[in-house]
Structure 1
Amino acid sequence: MSQRAVFPKGVTADDVPLKLSPAVMSNGHLFVTGMTGSATDGTMPQDPATQFRSAFDKIAACLAGADLDFGHVVEMTSYHIKIAENFDTFSTVHAAYVKAPYPAWTAVEVAGLRRPGALVEIRVIARAPS
């Protein structure tokens, strides 16, 4: 089984304080760690749309680290705080990133996320071209 860690451009394992890879390429699939919408300085924006764009931008950077983009995403799971309050905004931001054929998607409401103030955590699986 072939497996390797994938990092966004300019990020190394030393930049990730937790013992995890932002993404892992394994047998032609890229598994991207759940991303929240924190800013690059670690703060959590109060504006939901800003958080959602930040999370998708982080995912895009991981995909780019494997020479992929959102057109390669086959599955997405999003974990939401207060899903009813923010889902329309999330859907609008989401539509600006995903590409046809659209990925399978499961949206789940949760009681809490690891990052204080986070409204969403998004994980994706992408398929590399053969």
Structure 2
Amino acid sequence: MSAIPGPRRVGNAEVIHHEGYDESIVSPFVPAIRVVSNARLVFISGVTGAPVYHDHPHQPEVFDSMPTDAAGQVRNAFDHLELALAAAGCERHDVVNMIRFFTDIEADQDIVNKHQGEWFGGHIPTSTTLEISRLATDPRLRFEFHVVAAAPA
């Protein structure tokens, strides 16, 4: 077990570790992040592999062009996240929290973790992962991500 490092500044936040930290463990989350500047919190609605803008009530044919595989959906979801972050004046390292909803964790978590790790390029937000029976938008969706970022003031 490694010594507990002091807080590490990432954008508008500090990454916090506590007793039990082991830098050799590969993990897609950190235990805590503290917003340290007068940053503004940005709450991003759930991103999926489906088109961001779509009618309500949902029209199933609108979603026929989205990928049905996990790799295609995760690329779309992170592309949508990139657009929302940029529109809010944020960058990838400004993400402080992700809540990840999966319809099948066993089938998709490793694919998502790999893409997420590459997309963040070394930045690791706090995270919670849940398995649910279905997502509201379309039954073909495999996961959805709710994100909070700390935008520069």
TM range (shorter): 0.7 to 0.9
Structure 2 residue corresponding to 1:96, chosen from 118, 135, 152:
118
- Taking every aligned residue pair, what percent have the same amino acid on both sides? 30
TM-score, length of structure 1 as denominator length: 0.73
Give the unaligned 5+ runs of structure 2. Answer: 1-38, 53-61
- 2 CA distance for matches of 1:67 and 1:52? 22
Partner SS state of residue 62, structure 1: helix
Check if 1:128 corresponds to 2:151. yes
Larger Rg, first or second structure (1 or 2): 2
| Superposition deviation, residue 113 in structure 1 | 0.5
**CA deviations over 1:16-72 (Å, ceiling 9, x no partner):** xxxxxxxxxxx7111000011125763331221110111111011000001211110
In structure 1, C-alpha distance between the alignment counterparts of 2:111 and 2:91, rounded to whole Å: 22
Stretches of structure 1 lacking an aligned partner (at least 5 in a row): 1-26
Equivalent residue for 2:47, pick from 28, 35, 48: 35
Query: In the alignment, residue 119 of structure 1 is paired with which amino acid?
Result: R
Aligned length: 104
Matches within 5 A, 1:1-130: 28-39=40-51, 42-43=63-64, 44-114=66-136, 115-130=138-153
Shift of residue 90, structure 1, vs aligned partner: 0.9
Could you report, residue by residue, the CA deviation over 1:58-87 in whole angstroms, capped at 9, with x for unpaired residues? 011000001211110000001001101111
